Amino acid sequence: MQTLAIDGSVLEGGGQILRNSISLSALLGKPINISKVRNGRKPPGLKNQHRTGIELAAEIASARLTGATNGSSSVFFSPTRIAAGDYTADPVTAGAATLLLQISLPILLFASSTTPSTLTLKGGTNATMAPQIDYIQHVFLPFATRHFGLKVDVDVRRRGYFPRGGGEVHVTVFPGVDGAKLTAASVLERGAVTRIGGIAHVAGLPAHLGKAMADSAIARLAAAGFAPDAPVPVSVEIASTREKNENTIGAGSGIVLWAELAGGGMIGGSAVGSKQKDAVTVGEEAANELIKGLEAGGCVDEWLEDQIIIFMALAEGTSEVRCGKDGLTLHTKTAIWVAEQLTGASFDITVQDSGHTIIKCHGIGYTAPSEEVK
């Protein structure tokens, strides 16, 4: 089969092109050569977490892989057969475990097996340049389960923070069987905010810092009109947890918030603690991010927006999702570009009179091949 050339410098020019291209290559059996890897980053080329993710995908898809070394700007990936199983990936840094999940999850959803696969993903669970694991648990997966039919369980065994990492996440992926396809998502009506949930977490630090994050987020949300006693009442429940000392390496903190919408949408907001910010500020930052997402008026936030593109492309039928008034992010545009290059799915982007952007995708109705890709 002819190798497809992918320009890694297109649009956002980061790791997302790498992850989405590799996932789709594995599923579709298309050999790819990605050049100018992470050309838009300083320094460019592969870092530990990117290399680890590619190696994980290669193991799952029994792929021939070259160029997977730190600093490499060109990667060749040629898959053969996707195998269900038990896999482990460890970047040996604080590299994000959630980004390892992004590259491997779409592949394992279509493993030819009646039994689930498991992923043991190590590294950072709560970082600034990637979704926190709590966002995956409480925003991405609930949305993807409801609208695309995913069946995935996530168990955080140990949290890992920058710079030491050391976190561990166990993921169980239940594949579709007998040619099952992802369902198309139709999320066009936002509806009211039905509930706001959240979790403020600390490890290796005093428990009162978690409570301070949660309390400041609640106060900020109330000032914006999201509270049980507001004119339009909204339930707000933000838990505060402190990890046991044996369940973390190093110290760190963070908070993830999520708003559930009556129309089936999800909006998230998050912040990660640091020595430069007090706990009150961290809680307010997460609340401000959630409020911004809600005020944009979409059914998904800007991070969920780009993460669902690959599933829209693979699903059967036409998916439609209403996004906010700020226009599509560069990450979303990049994800659409990659999906169109590899899958043949077509996307239509329209802006309503209200200013909201609608993403419509005519998916390919992907099913796993019954025989090994040649």
Digit-coded pLDDT (tens) for 28-39: 999 999 999 999
Residue 156 — pLDDT band, cuts 50, 70, 90?
very high
Enumerate the β-bridge partners of residue 65: 77
Which two tokens mark 307?
Answer: 């993460």
Residue numbers belonging to the annotated binding site for ATP = 102
Which residues, in sequence order, are CB contacts of 337 under 8 Å at separation 6+?
10, 11
| DSSP strands (E only) in 204-310 | 235-242, 248-249, 252-261, 266-272
The residue-averaged pLDDT of 59-77 equals 96
Find out whether 267 and 192 touch, Cβ atoms under 8 Å: no
Distance CA(83)–CA(284), nearest Å, equals 44
Find out whether 128 and 56 touch, Cβ atoms under 8 Å: no
Give the pLDDT confidence score for residue 203 in this predicted structure: 93
Find out whether 203 and 247 touch, Cβ atoms under 8 Å: yes
Enumerate the β-bridge partners of residue 87: 119
Give the pLDDT confidence score for residue 82 in this predicted structure: 93
Instruction: Mark 48-69 as b/e (b = at least 16 C-beta within 10 Å).
Output: bbbbbbbebbbbbbebebebbe
Distance CA(268)–CA(286), nearest Å, equals 9
H/E element, 20: helix 15-28
Distance CA(206)–CA(209), nearest Å, equals 6
DSSP string, 243-273: --GGGEES-EEEEEEEEEETTS-EEEEEEE-
64 phi and psi, to 5 degrees?
Answer: -85, 130
| Domain ranges across the chain | 1-82, 84-127+137-180, 193-295, 300-367
Find out whether 271 and 254 touch, Cβ atoms under 8 Å: yes
Give the pLDDT confidence score for residue 114 in this predicted structure: 80
Give the pLDDT confidence score for residue 178 in this predicted structure: 59
The residue-averaged pLDDT of 49-55 equals 95
Residue 369 is classified by DSSP as -
Residue 94 — pLDDT band, cuts 50, 70, 90?
confident
Digit-coded pLDDT (tens) for 240-290: 999 988 778 789 999 999 999 999 999 999 999 998 899 999 999 999 999
Please state, as a whole number, how many other Cβ atoms lie within 10 Å of the Cβ of residue 232: 9
Class of domain 1-82: alpha beta
The residue-averaged pLDDT of 119-130 equals 93
Residue numbers belonging to the annotated binding site = 102
**Catalytic residue numbers?**
331
Find out whether 138 and 156 touch, Cβ atoms under 8 Å: no
Which residues, in sequence order, are CB contacts of 246 under 8 Å at separation 6+?
none
Which two tokens mark 206?
Answer: 């005093």
Digit-coded pLDDT (tens) for 306-345: 999 999 999 999 999 999 999 999 999 999 999 999 999 9
Q: Which amino acid is at 273?
A: G
Mean pLDDT of all residues belonging to the chain? 94
Find out whether 343 and 364 touch, Cβ atoms under 8 Å: yes
Give the pLDDT confidence score for residue 127 in this predicted structure: 87
pTM for this predicted structure: 0.95
- Cis before 163? omega within 30: yes
Give the pLDDT confidence score for residue 196 in this predicted structure: 98
* 1-82 and 193-295 have identical folds: no
Give the pLDDT confidence score for residue 370 in this predicted structure: 64
CATH of domain 193-295: 3.30.360.20
